[in-house]
Amino acid sequence: MGGRRRHGPKKLIALSWLLVEHEDDIEADLARFYPRDADQLEEFWAGRMSWRRLWVLVSRLPRDAATVIAEVGPDRAAWSTEVELLAKAVDELAAANWQFASAHRGRGPAPAPPQPIPRPFDD
């Protein structure tokens, strides 16, 4: 087939929905993360920016972007892969300490099992 890849209808629907729900956030994020001389959203509405280009910019916004925070919530937006790995490490260390304490408790009462660190998506 060759040439440029076409953007799919799912991306267009998702972008359309984001524009309806979060146009102001998108405009602020484009100005913050992709500064240019012209207002990029105005360029899009005037037909001087393609749907694909706008999708590429919006879909790659960082976690602290207003659009991402508005879409997923501030807690979930702040929960990065690094934070998840740290929480997992703490949970595993707590479990190992509990196992050690349980195995070496003697005749005393069994220690309470550790509680995992709460995740923002465990609602």
Q: What is the 3-state secondary structure (H, E, C) of 18-51?
A: HHHHHHHHHHHHHHHHCCCCCCHHHHHHCCCCCH
- The two most distant CA atoms of the chain are separated, in Å, by 77
Over residues 30-76, the pLDDT tens digits come to 999 998 867 888 999 999 999 999 999 999 999 999 999 999 888 88
Number of Cβ within 10 Å of residue 20's Cβ equals 8
pTM to 2 decimals?
0.67
**Residue 5: pLDDT band with limits 50, 70, 90:** low
Distance of alpha carbon 111 from alpha carbon 60, whole angstroms:
46
